[in-house]
C-alpha cells in the first residue's frame, strides 16, 4: 500500500466531504472536528455510494437502507433495515490519512 494524493485540505474543509476515486477504489473523505477521515465510498451492505448519504456527528448514513457507519472506525452503529428486519453487515473499510503541504494523502 502507498499514500496517494487525494485533494487540497482547504477544499475538503470547505466542502466537509468529498468522493475521490484512485484506480478502481472509490474513497469518501470527510473533514470532521479538525481531522480528515477516509473510508470506502461503498456501503458494505449493498455497495451504495456513502457520499450520497447523510453525515452528522461522525456518522455517515447509507442512502439506500439506512446503515449508519462510524467514520473513525468503519464500524456499523446501526444496521441496514429492509422492511422491518436488521441485516448483518460487515464494517466499512477505513484508510490511513496524512496531511502534507496542504494536501490530503490516503494509504491505498
pTM across the whole model: 0.91
13-26 tens-digit pLDDT: 999 999 999 999 99
Residue 42: DSSP 8-state: B
Which of 108, 43, 45, 46 has its CA nearest to residue 54?
43
Residues 1, 63: Cα–Cα separation, whole Å:
30
Under CATH, domain 3-107 is a member of which superfamily?
Rieske [2Fe-2S] iron-sulphur domain (2.102.10.10)
Answer for the pair 106, 14: CB distance below 8 angstroms, yes or no.
no
DSSP secondary structure code for residue 53 in this structure: S
The domain segmentation of the chain, as residue ranges, is 3-107
Look over the chain and give the mean of its residue pLDDT values, rounded to a whole number. 93
Which tens digit of pLDDT belongs to each residue from 76-92? 999 887 766 666 678 99
The mean pLDDT of 51-62, rounded to a whole number, is 96
pLDDT over threshold 90, residue 106: yes
CA distance 42 to 34: 24
Amino acid at each position: 500500500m502507498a499514500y496517494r494524493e487525494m485533494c487540497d485540505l482547504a477544499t475538503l474543509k470547505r466542502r466537509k466531504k468529498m468522493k475521490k476515486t484512485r484506480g478502481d477504489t472509490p474513497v469518501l473523505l470527510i473533514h470532521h472536528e479538525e481531522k480528515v477521515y477516509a473510508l470506502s465510498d461503498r456501503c458494505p451492505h449493498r455497495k451504495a455510494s456513502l457520499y450520497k448519504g447523510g453525515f452528522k456527528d461522525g456518522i455517515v448514513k447509507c442512502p439506500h437502507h439506512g446503515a449508519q457507519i462510524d467514520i473513525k472506525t468503519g464500524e456499523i452503529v446501526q444496521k441496514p433495515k429492509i422492511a422491518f428486519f436488521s441485516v448483518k453487515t460487515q464494517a466499512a473499510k477505513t484508510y490511513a490519512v496524512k496531511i502534507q503541504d496542504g494536501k490530503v494523502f490516503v494509504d491505498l
